Amino acid sequence: MSATEPLVDAVLEEVRRQAGASASAVVRAEHASSALTRFADSAIHQNVADERVSVHLSLTVEGGRTASASTTRASDAGSLVAAALAAARLRPQDPSWPGLGEPAPVASSGSWDEATAAASPDDRAAGVRAFVDAAGGLSCAGYVQTSALTAVLGTTAGQLVRGATTSATCDGIARLSGADGVARSMSAFLGDLSFAALGARAAAKARAGVDARPVEPGAYPVVLEPAAVTDLVAALVTGQLNGKAVVDGTSGIRLGSPQFDAAVTLVDDPLGGVGLPFDTEGTPTGRLELVRDGVPVALTTDRRTAAQLGRSSSGHASDGSDTWGPVATSPSLAGGSGGSVDDLVAGLERGLLVSDFWYTRVVDPKRSVWTGLTRNGVWLVEDGRLAAPVSTLRFTQSYLEALAPGAVTAGSDVDPQPQRLTWQAASRVAVPALRLAAWNITGNATG
Amino acid sequence: MVSSPNEMPVAVEPGAFDAAAAAVEAALAAGARYADARLVDRRHEAMTALDGDVRSLSQTTAAGLGVRALVGSSWGFAALGDPSGDADARRTGERATAIARASAAVPGPSMELVAVPPQVGGWSSECLEDPFAVPLSEKGDLLTSVTATMKAAGVAVAEALSQAWDTRTAFVSSEGARIGQHLRETGAGMHCLTVGEGETQRRSYPAFRGQYGTRGWELVRSLDLPGHAERIAAEAQELLTAPLCPSGETTLLLGGEQMSLQIHESVGHAIELDRILGWEAAYAGTSWLDLTRLGSPRFGSELMNITIDPTIPGALGSFGFDDEWTPAHARDAVRHGVWVGVLAGRDSAAVAGLDYAGSVRADGYARLPMVRMTNVGLEPGPHTLEEMIAATDDGVLMEHNRSWSIDDRRLNFQFGCEIGWEIRNGRRGRLLRNPSYTGIGPRFWSSLDMLGGAAPGEWQAWGTPNCGKGQPGQVGHTGHGAAPARFAGVRVGVRG
């Protein structure tokens, strides 16, 4: 875990040598190892592994001329610093540069599992085999991934922090006569994943989805299974509770107001999920309550947006946060009193049960209006029971309005899902199923 | 300058082939029946400006080795960042073979790669002005000045971006191929946001994420960003109070930039052979196209002629060789509205019983080459945009994408655009805000009744620098020739 620490020391020393004592720098060295075994038609068709050491430098000179550089040529500190320094000196001064943070300790070293870090291609193939075998002859597709990341970050202000994290994911579908069923799970520990249970669940959903028919567009009460709920949470953390979106005026969040149903409590918990104990500026991360009992109470910030909003950084800087803003990496939506998915369905007089969403895109950022499609199964619910499978539907819906007071019943079981719909490949979303009062169906895939 | 055919690019160091060859040898020695290796050195530079200041400047070097190995009909791929010598390269080759052996524990059907005669040579893209040689101060001045102009015009947020990539690849295969390729890609764009009561409006130029190509900085100069900053700022302001795009069925006119995304999403992805075969079923999705009907199903009207053409000079999806080193060549995908061709790789083509490949690309050294769009574009038509407007009694013209969504079989799409205009009695009328439209792919393309490209500059090869696909995720660079077009009876004004 300490193999990358000399790289940080070397770059910081090179910064002092080339740029002088007044320069400010954040240096991060990472050793990343990731492997992913992909299957389709119940056979492994792509199987990859990638190992790299990389060094990332953000260098600021003259109190506001900043440039960043990164390289996989980790041993060449001199070239890395020279490139960043040349770029920084040519840049105009940025009057809103927030400066470096003071040294601060991290709360833990991260979520690390040696067995996950050491997982072999045979281990992943065994996971695929178990998923496929449990599907009872249905055609299966998906992937099993294991990854490990160790990182050291140092700054010229004296911060020096270390962390490590592992993750394991299984995400697969079973297919039958045009119907797909899905099952996903993600953990820091490979041993947490039950591949056979996931395969069996996917197959059961596929079998229940055969002979799907369209329904008429309109507003339907819905029960969203956890895979679908991840999309709502991803939209909230990227477009609404993101400090940059608030600064830019594109967020519709109203801090301190009862904007959501009281069943909505959302926290970011990187140390309880999959992640490092610090962000890319070296700010320690920790549990952050974003929405409490329906009331938005905090935003995710990095040092820049925190300064603009007059608060301290919440520890959500990333390599992309200058562009996309600081975003929660391990959001968790609290479970409620709604019971199981079956219990939530039992409370629907007439509506839809939705397994998953696909290709959702924002139509109106401020109202959080999104359009997208259902995927991997929809069912018409009548009198609290599944009446018939439904074919793929298009929706156009304000997520803020869908979660409004009086509209939400949260299921009791919180399910850890891989986050698929943002650029953050390694993040995890823990969510329950939700029953929502209305969801605006605007079309179907046949016309 | 473009190199002569088969000329090894001077930018690719001869020593790079040694590591690739060592990796291939090691993979074979470990039991692979086929192996190839790419040693890739890729630089990327991105600068952004916000409201008159440079906001970010990043430079990335990603150098490393990626090795594919085939054991039986099972693949393995291993990548290593910055291998320090032959020992690292050999270790990566052996690892690729070990992974392929593990794949064989859950095997697919037997398969032989489609034959491609091994070549020794190379290719370089055209670059008149090296983007990495343009002073950062000049780039910063350009981006800050256009954002300052938009900000001064009263917008809430003004942003601009430039990017450049320099990719040098040495490829060696166990079949005897030894190929060097040097690609330089450049692009830039700008946009602004205005914020009104409960909503935001956006205007972009030249496209909603910029314009990109396999060209040098001359591409950015040709865009004339300063000449358009005031206009898009004014339009973004005007949109705040413009009437809503009406809801209903009408005649739809699309500008060339929006057409490029329409082609990308509803045609380009639908003709990817890996999707058609079900290899992407769990993530990117499948396709409504049935391989058994290749050559017969109607995709669109007679005006619809789509080509797969990585040879278009300067287009973002252009290359001399794809990433399993099939030489670039043009092919029809849709001719007179009939589906006739696919984007294929050597393995997917073999499984499908086809005899051509050439559309496999990888996002850097660390990613597995997979079926991707190259330049998938619509050939120009016989009309002009002005002729289309003059021929329309009642319709809406939309331009510049704002949102896009399409189902996993590439049938049902819904697009939002930044700006619309009412078309009445053959004339462009009022500005319309929040224009959107929806449809079903083949039904929509069959309603194509006028196609532009007859006027100078109407047909362009638009670049898409952020096409996502694959697990782990890969970002692809694709090109799309497109011109304004008219469609009859389209549902517009979809509300949430």
Exposure of B355 by Cβ count < 10 A (0-12 exposed, 13-18 middle, 19+ buried)? exposed
Question: Per residue in B151-186, is it b (16+ CB within 10 Å) or e — as a string?
Answer: bebebbbbbbbbbbbbbbbbbbbbbebbbbbbbbbb
Contact call for residues A287 and A269 (beta carbons, < 8 A): yes
pLDDT at B1: 37
Residue B117, CA distances (Å) to B111, B324, B436 in order? 18, 12, 48
Q: Are residues B284 and B233 in the same domain?
A: no
**Minimal Cβ distance to B64: which of A72, A87, A371:** A72
For residues A245 and A98, state if they share a domain: no
Average pLDDT over residues A268-278: 87
Distance, in Å, from the CA atom of A123 to the CA atom of A102, rounded to the nearest integer, reads 43
Closest chain B residue to the Cα of A359, Cα to Cα: B405
User: Looking at A74-78, A314-318, A400-404, which range is the least confident one?
Assistant: A74-78
- Asked if residue B251 lies in contact with residue B490, where contact means CB atoms within 8 angstroms, the answer is yes
Does A122 lie in the same domain as A256? no
- Residues in chain B closer than 8 A to A90 (CB atoms): 135-137, 140
Does the pLDDT value for residue A90 go beyond 90? no
Question: Of B216, B240, B264, which marks where a domain is finished?
Answer: B240
What's residue A273's pLDDT? 77
**What value does the mean pLDDT take over residues A334-354?**
98
Q: Does one domain contain both A291 and A264? A: yes
pLDDT for A69 beyond 60: yes
Chain A residues closer than 8 Å to B60 by CB? 69-71
Asked if pLDDT for residue B10 goes beyond 90, the answer is no
How many cross-chain Cβ pairs, A to B, lie less than 8 Å apart?
275
B7 lies in some domain: no
Partner-chain contact B136 A91, CB within 8 Å: yes
Partnered with residue B462 across adjacent β-strands are: B480
Please tell me if residue A366 touches chain B, with a CB cutoff of 8 Å. Answer: yes
Q: Are residues B54 and B148 in the same domain?
A: yes
The count of domains in chain A is 2
At B3, the pLDDT band (50, 70, 90 cuts) reads very low
Partners of B195 on chain A (C-beta within 8 Å) are 249-250, 366
CATH number for A44: 3.30.2290.10
Number of domains into which chain B is organized = 2
Proportion of chain B in helix, strand, coil states, percent, rounded to 5: 20, 40, 40
Q: Structural domain of residue B413, as residue ranges?
A: 248-492
Name chain B contacts of A425, Cβ cutoff 8 Å: 472-473
Q: Are B93 and B24 in contact (CB under 8 A)?
A: yes
Closest CB to A445: pick one of B55, B409, B495. B409
Chain A residues closer than 8 Å to B280 by CB = 40
- Clarify whether residues B398 and B419 are in a common domain: yes
pLDDT attached to residue A107: 87
User: Which pLDDT value is given to residue A110?
Assistant: 83
Tokens found for residue A212 = 């799907």
| pLDDT tens per residue across span B197-224 | 878 899 999 999 899 999 999 999 999 9
Q: Which residue among A74, A94, A125 sits closest to B53, beta carbon to beta carbon?
A: A94
What distance in Å separates the CA atoms of residue A224 and residue A438, rounded to the nearest whole number?
11
- Domain shared by A197 and A254, yes or no: no
pLDDT at A426: 52
Amino acid at B46: A
Any domain includes B70: yes
Same domain for A326 and A255, yes or no, is yes
The reply to whether A356 and A218 lie within a common domain is yes
Q: Round to whole Å and give the CA distance between A68 and A50.
A: 24
Query: What is the structure's pLDDT at B496?
Result: 63
- Residue A447 in this model has a pLDDT that exceeds 60: no
Per-residue pLDDT for A1 more than 80?
no
Read off the pLDDT of each residue in B360-367 and give the average, rounded to a whole number: 97
- Under the banding of pLDDT at 50, 70 and 90, the label for residue B362 is very high
What's the whole-number average pLDDT of chain A?
94
User: A residues 305-324 near B, CB within 8 Å?
Assistant: 322-323
- Give the domain CATH number at B134: 3.30.2290.10
Measured between beta carbons, which residues in chain B are less than 8 angstroms from residue A174? none
Tell me the nearest-neighbour CA distance from A269 into chain B, angstroms: 24
- Scored b (16 or more CB within 10 A) or e, A155-184 reads bbeebebbbbbbbbbbbbbbbbeebbbbbb
Residues A201 and A311 in one domain: no
Model pLDDT for residues B377-435, shown as the tens digit of each residue: 999 999 999 999 999 999 999 999 998 999 999 999 999 999 999 999 999 999 999 99
pLDDT tens digits, A14-37:
999 999 999 999 999 999 999 999
- ipTM summary value: 0.94
Closest approach of A55 to chain B, Cα-based (Å): 10
Q: What is the pLDDT of residue A424?
A: 45
B299 and B232 in a single domain? The answer is no
Based on the fold, state whether residues A308 and A397 are members of the same structural domain: yes
**Percent over 90 (pLDDT), chain A:** 87
* Structural domain range at position A301: 213-444
Mean pLDDT of the region B120-128? 95
Q: What is the pTM (predicted TM-score) of this model?
A: 0.94
| Contact of A44 with A128, CB cutoff 8 Å | yes
* Residue B11 lies inside a defined structural domain of this protein: no
Q: Which of A83, A173, A363 sits opposite B496 (nearest CB)?
A: A363
Instruction: From B240, B272, B287, give the residue that closes a domain.
Output: B240
Distance of CA A113 to the CA centre of its chain: 20
Contact A366 B81 (CB under 8 A): no
Please report, rounded to a whole number, the percentage of residues in chain A having pLDDT higher than 70. 98
Instruction: Looking at the structure, tell me whether residues A180 and A254 fall in a common domain.
Output: no
Kindly report the number of other CB atoms within 10 A of residue B354's CB atom: 16
* pLDDT value at residue A420: 63
Which tokens hold the place of A103? Answer: 């040294």
Per-residue confidence band for A423, with pLDDT thresholds at 50, 70 and 90: very low
Query: Which of B240, B260, B280 delimits the end of a domain?
Result: B240
User: Cβ of A325 under 8 Å from any chain B Cβ?
Assistant: no
Q: Is B8 a member of any domain?
A: no
Tens of pLDDT along A98-123? Answer: 999 999 999 888 889 999 999 999 99
Question: Would you say residue B9 lies in a domain?
Answer: no
More confident residue, A444 or A269: A269
Option in B108, B404, B412 nearest A45 (CB): B108
- Per-residue pLDDT, A320: 87
pLDDT tens per residue, range B160-208: 999 999 999 999 999 999 999 999 999 999 999 999 887 889 999 999 9
